[in-house]
């Protein structure tokens, strides 16, 4: 039993069956396409509980065609990254926050509880085994994708009696094509990403698959991503699969970095939380969780009170926003005309990169690379 008394698998029992044919480690930074040699898998059944965690060569899953993860989307995932520091040691960025968000998503998906520290320890062992895949170049990383699916082989819609938790990993560069290049957003209330009482604040695949059609419609309007609006007042919620920030002079004349509050429709992003924690200590402006509407953004743009707008997420880290297409008009965000080095996005990106490469305290302690 784990430290917080949840019946769970134990990292101490982990079985490792290493691959006899490791792949050549050619750097492939195209997001989510080139996977490392090994995966972690842990099975669960209602009658027998959690089974022994296993690290084995990456391979296909065998699922019953009635598997309820496929039919009813009873599944969830996480995304976290490991970085190679200047000291050549590998660190995972704030992984316990991902473990606890994963546990929250599992509750929402009616998947079983697990001990978060034990899972993290198993992931650490996986990263250690495949550490040669962690890129040596700054701003590149190893993306870790824990996934938890119901393996129930029944068409009845019911709480799973069997499940599989697995973790795969791939190298990651920039999620979008050019990291510094601002993205364009299509803001239209036609599609909704999340609603109160829904699953938008959990990391479930349906939130992302359900967004695909809107993403394609955004492209028809010449935009790269969707700016998700909510409610009659067109509240700004998220951008694509990112949390969103607005750096502006607010209605009271104060300089503010604002992001929508975690009110049930916003994904509690780890990068979002890190940006709030970092910038609230910087001074010069306040970092706030508050509602923002398109009306407020339009007025602020007209009055030249907007400094920058950007998205944040594990995959992209920080992504500047250059323009928003809304109600037939293109709203230009002024930051795209500023020098890159003078942007707040650059300062935040540098602060995060410094932490990830070992100059800060917020990354997990490294493990030896030899
Ligand atoms: C992440 O930033 O980790 C995400 O969830 C984006 C992913 C869906 C590609």
ipTM of the prediction: 0.93
Residues in contact with 254: Cβ distance below 8 Å, sequence separation at least 6, in sequence order: 285, 286
**Mean pLDDT value across the chain:** 92
197 phi/psi in degrees, rounded to 5: 85, -5
Which residue lies with its CA nearest to atom 4 of ligand 1?
Answer: 315
What string of DSSP letters covers 191-243?
Answer: S-S--TTSSTTS--HHHHHTTHHHHHHHHHTT-SEEEEEETTTTEEEEETTEE
Q: What whole-number distance in Å separates Cα of residue 281 and Cα of residue 72?
A: 44
Does ligand 1 lie within 6 Å of residue 315's CB atom? yes
**Does residue 79 line the site of ligand 1, with CB under 6 A?**
yes
Closest ligand 1 atom, residue 203 Cα: 5
The residue whose CA is least distant from atom 9 of ligand 1 is 315
Tokens at 233, concatenated: 């007042």
The mean pLDDT of 131-160, rounded to a whole number, is: 94
Q: pLDDT per residue over 79-125, tens digit each?
A: 999 999 988 999 999 999 999 999 999 999 999 999 999 999 999 99
How far is C-alpha 43 from the geometric centre of its chain's CA atoms? 24
CA of 305 to the centre of ligand 1 (A): 30
* Count of Cβ atoms closer than 10 Å to residue 30 Cβ: 11
For 146-204, write each residue's pLDDT tens digit. 999 999 999 999 999 999 999 999 999 866 555 567 999 999 999 999 999 999 999 99
What is the reported pLDDT for 370? 39
What's the pLDDT at 364? 61
Beta bridge partners of 329: 326
Ligand 1 near 270 CB (within 6 A): no
Q: Which atom of ligand 1 is nearest to the CA of 32?
A: 9
What is the atom index within ligand 1 of the atom nearest the CA of 242? 2
pLDDT for residue 32? 87
With a 6 Å cutoff on the Cβ, whether 243 touches ligand 1 is no
- Ligand 1 center to 314 CA (angstroms): 6
Is 151:69 a contact under the CB 8 Å cutoff? yes
Provide the pLDDT confidence category of residue 341 given band limits of 50, 70 and 90: low
Considering only CA atoms, which residue is closest to atom 7 of ligand 1?
A: 315
Average pLDDT for 276-302: 96
User: How far apart are the CA of 9 and the centre of ligand 1, in A?
Assistant: 26
Burial class (CB in 10 A: 0-12, 13-18, 19+), 20: exposed
Stated pTM of the model:
0.93
More confident residue, 166 or 30: 166
Band the pLDDT of 359: cuts 50, 70, 90. confident
Q: Is any atom of ligand 1 closer than 6 Å to the C-beta of 282?
A: no
Spacing, Cα 216 to ligand 1 middle (Å) = 17
Decide whether any atom of ligand 1 lies within 6 Å of the 311 Cβ: no
- At residue 42, does pLDDT exceed 60? yes
Q: Which atom of ligand 1 is nearest to the CA of 175?
A: 9
Percent of the chain predicted with pLDDT > 70: 92
DSSP 362: S
């Amino acid at each position: 039993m784990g430290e917080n008394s949840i019946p769970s698998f134990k990292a101490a029992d982990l079985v490792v069956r290493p691959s006899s044919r490791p792949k050549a480690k050619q750097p492939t930074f195209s997001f989510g396409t080139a996977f490392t040699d090994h995966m972690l898998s842990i099975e669960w059944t209602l009658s027998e509980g959690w089974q022994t965690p296993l690290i084995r060569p990456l391979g296909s899953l065998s699922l019953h065609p009635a598997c309820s993860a496929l039919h009813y989307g009873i599944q969830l995932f996480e995304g976290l990254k490991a970085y190679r520091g200047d000291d050549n040691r590998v660190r995972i960025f704030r992984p316990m926050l991902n473990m606890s968000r994963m546990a929250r998503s599992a509750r929402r998906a009616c998947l079983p509880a697990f001990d978060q520290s034990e899972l993290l320890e198993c992931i650490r062992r996986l990263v250690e085994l495949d550490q040669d895949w962690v890129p040596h170049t700054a701003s590149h990383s190893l993306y870790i994708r824990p996934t938890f699916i119901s393996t129930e082989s029944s068409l009845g819609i019911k709480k799973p009696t069997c499940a599989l938790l697995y973790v795969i990993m791939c190298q990651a560069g920039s999620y979008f094509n050019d990291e510094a290049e601002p993205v364009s957003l299509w803001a239209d209330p036609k599609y909704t990403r999340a609603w109160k009482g829904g699953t938008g604040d959990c990391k479930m695949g349906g939130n992302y698959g359900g967004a695909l059609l809107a993403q394609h419609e955004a492209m028809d309007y010449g935009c790269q991503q969707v700016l998700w609006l909510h409610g009659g007042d067109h509240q700004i919620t998220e951008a694509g699969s990112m949390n969103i920030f607005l750096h502006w002079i607010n209605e009271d004349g104060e300089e503010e970095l604002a992001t929508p509050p975690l009110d049930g429709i916003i994904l509690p992003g780890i990068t979002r939380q890190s940006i709030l924690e970092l910038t609230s200590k910087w001074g010069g402006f306040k970092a706030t969780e508050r509602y923002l509407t398109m009306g407020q953004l339009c007025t602020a743009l007209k009055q030249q009170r907007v400094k920058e707008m950007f998205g944040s997420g594990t995959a992209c880290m920080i992504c500047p926003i250059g323009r928003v297409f809304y109600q037939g008009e293109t709203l230009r965000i002024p930051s795209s005309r500023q020098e890159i080095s003078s942007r707040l996005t650059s300062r935040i990106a540098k602060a995060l990169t410094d932490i990830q490469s070992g100059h800060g305290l917020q990354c997990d302690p490294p493990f030896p690379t030899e």
